[in-house]
């Protein structure tokens, strides 16, 4: 069985909002499998879906660019090692130029983008990236990008600070509607436009959890499928753009689908990036490292005398 560490318990607590002992017990029962432990807790305690997807786990920025004609645009995520560098003017400029390069040149992938001449510069994207690494002293990488080109629709973008970016392709309505929809996407983080774009695995997971929760609650078998279907439909409303309640709805009830219908508009596609989403960031445990170094020093001291630096390091560690 995998060792159950304090960091694993902390991660599960943050994902479910449940107590430390509950999380530790679930991890023990799942043999250290975080995903299985979370699912188990959701079944037994009714915990909401994981919040881990919205946590920023790496540094960098999201930048967007839309051409003057409004027909081509791009959004790009560029990563670095620290938030300090993410605020650097040269780093931010590189991200903006990368987005413009994507929009204007339509690269097939990151490798193709790297060999292209960077917008507003005299060298390639890759050469500019390497020069930036030398200047800033941190690794810099273009993680991903999205690009849209439309002949009949419109494009809109929205950046929430520099950590969340949205690129929207829509038809009908005006620029204000496009911006409102882009802001809604940044705030509500839908997985897709409608149910057809939701991962079937996610739907089946919700269905399975709903059935197990109902069974745990003593509901008769004849009702399980009906309960599960209701749960799935609620889930789809929460994660699809059209099913979500519009963030600026005056009555607090109008869905995005209803808003679009009232404006004679529709959404063709959208792309949303959250900086660091899905990246596991290494957690440095300096106390453990110092303790290990101190222990090694004691072991290697053949005379059995602990040097002053080792003694000081050991005494500074609590618990």
Identify the band that residue 307 occupies on the pLDDT scale cut at 50, 70 and 90.
very low
- Measure the CA–CA gap between 178 and 157, rounded to whole angstroms: 8
Among 148, 170, 192, give the residue marking a domain's end: 170
- Measure the CA–CA gap between 316 and 39, rounded to whole angstroms: 39
What pLDDT is attached to residue 97?
Answer: 97
Residue 11 lies in a domain: yes
Instruction: Say if residue 110 is in the same domain as residue 144.
Output: yes
Of 16-20, 160-164, 228-232, 275-279, which range is least confident?
Answer: 16-20
The enclosing domain of 50 has a CATH number of 1.10.8.10
pLDDT of 188-224, one tens digit each? 999 999 999 999 999 999 999 999 999 888 899 889 9
pLDDT of 153-186, one tens digit each? 999 999 999 999 999 999 999 999 999 999 999 9
Residue 302 lies in a domain: yes
Q: Tell which residue, 147, 130, 181, 140, has the closest CA to residue 64.
A: 147
Instruction: Say if residue 72 is in the same domain as residue 164.
Output: yes
Residue 230 lies in a domain: no
Residue 18 lies in a domain: yes
Residue 247 lies in a domain: no
Of 24-33, 55-64, 199-208, which range is least confident?
Answer: 55-64
Residue 225 lies in a domain: no
What SS3 state is found at 301? Answer: coil
Average pLDDT, integer, range 25-53: 74
Q: In this structure, how many other beta carbons lie within 10 angstroms of the beta carbon of residue 103?
A: 25
Of 67-81, 152-166, 304-318, which range is least confident?
Answer: 304-318
What pLDDT is attached to residue 3?
Answer: 84
What is the extent of the structural domain holding 81? 59-170
Token pair in block for residue 208? 């399975």
pTM assigned to the model: 0.71
Q: How many structural domains is the chain composed of?
A: 3
Q: Are 208 and 285 in contact (CB under 8 A)?
A: no
Lookup result for tokens 């560098």: 85
- Measure the CA–CA gap between 140 and 88, rounded to whole angstroms: 12
Q: Are 25 and 8 in contact (CB under 8 A)?
A: no
Q: Tell which residue, 260, 144, 283, 253, has the closest CA to residue 194.
A: 260
Residue 290 lies in a domain: yes
Q: Which residues pair with 170 in a beta bridge?
A: 154, 267
Instruction: Say if residue 96 is in the same domain as residue 155.
Output: yes
Residue 244 lies in a domain: no
What pLDDT is attached to residue 138?
Answer: 85
Mean pLDDT of the chain: 84
Average pLDDT, integer, range 225-230: 92
What pLDDT is attached to residue 56?
Answer: 36
Instruction: Say if residue 72 is in the same domain as residue 156.
Output: yes
Instruction: Say if residue 13 is in the same domain as residue 46.
Output: yes
The enclosing domain of 86 has a CATH number of 3.30.479.20
Q: How far lies 257's CA from each of 246, 262, 264, 281, in Å?
A: 9, 9, 10, 37
pLDDT above 50 for 314: no
Q: Interior CA angle at 175 toward 170 and 178, to 5°?
A: 40
């Amino acid at each position: 069985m995998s060792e159950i560490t304090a960091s694993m318990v902390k991660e599960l607590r943050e994902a479910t909002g449940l107590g430390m002992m509950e999380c530790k017990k679930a991890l023990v029962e799942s043999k250290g499998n975080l995903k299985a432990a979370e699912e188990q807790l959701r079944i037994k305690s009714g915990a909401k879906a994981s919040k881990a997807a919205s946590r920023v786990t790496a540094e960098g920025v999201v930048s967007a660019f839309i051409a003057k004609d409004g027909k081509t645009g791009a959004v790009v995520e560029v990563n670095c090692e620290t938030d300090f560098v993410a605020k650097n003017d040269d780093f931010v400029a590189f991200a903006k130029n990368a987005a413009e390069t994507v929009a204007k040149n339509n690269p097939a992938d990151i490798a193709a983008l790297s060999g292209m001449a960077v917008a507003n510069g005299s060298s390639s994207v890759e050469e500019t990236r390497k020069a930036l690494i030398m200047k800033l002293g941190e690794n810099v990488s273009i993680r991903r990008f999205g690009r849209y080109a439309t002949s009949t629709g419109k494009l809109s973008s929205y950046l929430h600070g520099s950590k969340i970016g949205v690129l929207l392709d829509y038809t009908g309505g005006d620029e204000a509607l496009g911006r409102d929809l882009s802001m809604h996407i940044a705030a509500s983080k839908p997985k897709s436009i409608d149910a057809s774009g939701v991962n079937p695995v996610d739907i089946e997971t919700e269905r399975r959890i709903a059935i197990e929760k109902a069974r745990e609650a003593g509901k008769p078998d004849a009702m399980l499928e009906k309960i599960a279907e209701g749960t799935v439909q609620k889930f789809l409303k929460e994660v699809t753009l059209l099913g979500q309640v519009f963030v600026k709805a005056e009555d607090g009830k109008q869905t995005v689908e209803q808003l679009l219908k009232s404006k004679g508009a529709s959404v063709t596609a959208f792309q949303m990036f959250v900086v660091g989403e899905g990246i596991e960031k290494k957690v440095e445990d300096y106390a453990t490292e110092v303790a290990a170094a101190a222990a090694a020093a004691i072991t290697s001291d053949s005379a059995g005398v602990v040097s002053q630096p080792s003694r000081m390091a050991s005494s500074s560690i609590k618990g």
